Chains A and B, each alone.
Chain A
């Protein structure tokens, strides 16, 4: 029964995905200028004959709706277009850089949760203590800081002044990592290349911390306020009256209930992750999807931009879906 409802929910996202694709399609039509010029970007000069050929190949002479339909059809089949600048299909280009971004996003999320959870919980349990006030002050600061600035400041402190950590790229050149999955950390473990593991971790720290800082601030605040509520709930009183030790009361009764609103917020933060990684990857020269998009924008490589934006949007929709489903498992009062 629940499975049916989950499938129903999944199906509900399809129209949204469709809408997303349409909006992205509209974006590119908003660009002033001749479509062929746009698509060619700075690909160099071409002859008039080639222009004609491209026109028909891209169905630019056909009505807009046909173009839309063809665009959607291709996208559904996994073909996100072709980048003239790089002379390769967009899908391939994305596939190449995706592991780097996933690694960064995972690192950031892990950092954020590892920091936010203890802080949120302890701040709630010891409300108004020095630790509580300090961490909430920091959290407040965290949500007010722009990511690009934090990144640059961290680079200046840890990279330039203290020289503890590297400040750009994913790994040093001379460790000779053999890539299997594209995830450097995994690959270095699989191939037992310990210098490579160290190097990739070192490179990951600063960008992950920068990206995760804002997220951890938000999650810590939400977790704290949810915990404050659940700690004062009657069922916590009952748990204590049953003779439960305090840590069971905290973890099983208070925390589990506090997770419910927190998970929703974490799901929203995926959006911050996706958006933020463009900026952070640029600041740290991290060779991922974000940096590729920004470069593509500078180079006016619109097919690439278009395809990547679609991928971002789809990921966000997917993340929201997962959060919704997860939520129903956590909160028995809500059925899909």
Chain B
């Protein structure tokens, strides 16, 4: 990881809302995050907690009627929210690129994959002058090889449906790579793939992070994957970051009851303990309970939890958690049920 002193991306109080028939949904609720150059940050949480919305907000791809309601998105010193549309387009795909979840539906079915990769270059005019097409094609083949796509020359002309799932994902990654971005937003890049392919893709991404010094924000619901791969982890619940910090600290010593619950849910090969699932289900984001949003499901819940809005507090250097326990410095232990 590269420490530069200057942050690659900083989200300050980012709030993204969607008006729905049931009410205003705060998909991203006052989120603060930091990514250093070359850092891999994982955002972990259940489906619907707002992780993908954070990524889309960074790129300002939130579709109407949703909108970014408040906060700053500071990328390399610039607040992206204030950029005029043309400048923002210049950043999308070039300085910040995004890798989506389901490659078969994300790739355009009527164009060959090579052309789709090349389009990313063409849009940003990276190559100019005569012989542009040949140079662009050459670069595309390079990127395809780097992404691990075999026989790039013949696969250039292949259509998405002719490739396997793993190859399609590599093509998506190639699209995300071709302009040498400083930050890559990866939305569940391996969820749709087999386990063995998953491992290969994660290796690839690790290599990209190393070789290109590219920051990566990895969004996933798989805590184990994040634990293996990321430098830092942020745990999200119902639009809030409930815990964040270096991966070792968070995984070895989780401080928020939700994180603790998630880790307890992971089956372990060596242990034969019963898995304790977290009771209850994700709340309706349009109808959030007052106070701590996790209170209804928290095994450590107390009366104050339902009335007090809690902020992220440091529990160790670089390690933060949002729980009432840490407001006053007390610690609670899990009351065992008889």
Contact = CB atoms under 8 A, between A and B. Distances in A.
Interface stretch (A25-33, A60-68, A231-239, A316-324): A231-239
A242 B93 contact: yes
B159 A333 contact: yes
Interface string B115-157: 0000110011000000000000000000000000000000000
A320 B175 CA distance: 38
Contact of A238 (B91, B107, B159): B107
A330 interface: yes
Contacts of B107: 235, 238
Contacts of B89: 243-245
Contacts of B98: 238, 241
A330 B159 CA distance: 13
A256 B108 CA distance: 10
A257 B123 contact: no
A244 B97 CA distance: 12
B92 interface: yes
B161 interface: yes
Task: Count chain B CB atoms within 10 A of each CB in A243, A256, A332 and give the residue with the most.
Answer: A243
A331 interface: yes
Given A243-B91, A243-B124, A332-B159, A237 B100 contact: yes
B105 interface: yes
A244 B106 contact: no
Given A333-B159, A333-B161, A241 B61 contact: yes
Interface string B167-203: 0000010010000000000000000000000000000
Nearest to A330: B110
B61 A243 contact: no
A253 interface: yes
Interface string A286-326: 00000000000000000000000000000000000000000
Contacts of A331: 109-110
B94 interface: yes
Contacts of B106: 234-235, 237-238
B213 interface: no
A256 B91 contact: no
Interface centre among A240, A242, A260 (most CB of B within 10 A): A242
A5 to B, nearest CB: 17
B105 A235 contact: yes
A241 B92 contact: yes
A242 B61 contact: no
A242 B109 contact: no
B90 interface: yes
Contacts of B102: 234
Interface string A14-42: 00000000000000000000000000000
Given A243-B92, A330-B110, A332-B159, A233 B119 contact: no
B214 interface: no
Interface in A204-263: 233-235, 237-245, 248, 253, 256-257, 260
Contacts of A245: 89
Given A257-B110, A333-B161, A243 B90 contact: yes
Given A242-B93, A243-B94, A332 B110 contact: yes
Contact of A256 (B110, B124, B172): B110
Given A242-B123, A332-B159, A237 B92 contact: no
B59 interface: yes
A243 B89 CA distance: 4
Nearest to A235: B108
Contacts of A240: 61, 92
A248 B123 CA distance: 10
Given A237-B100, A241-B61, A242-B92, 14 more contacts: A234-B100, A234-B102, A238-B98, A238-B100, A239-B119, A240-B61, A240-B92, A241-B97, A241-B98, A242-B93, A243-B89, A253-B108, A256-B110, A332-B159
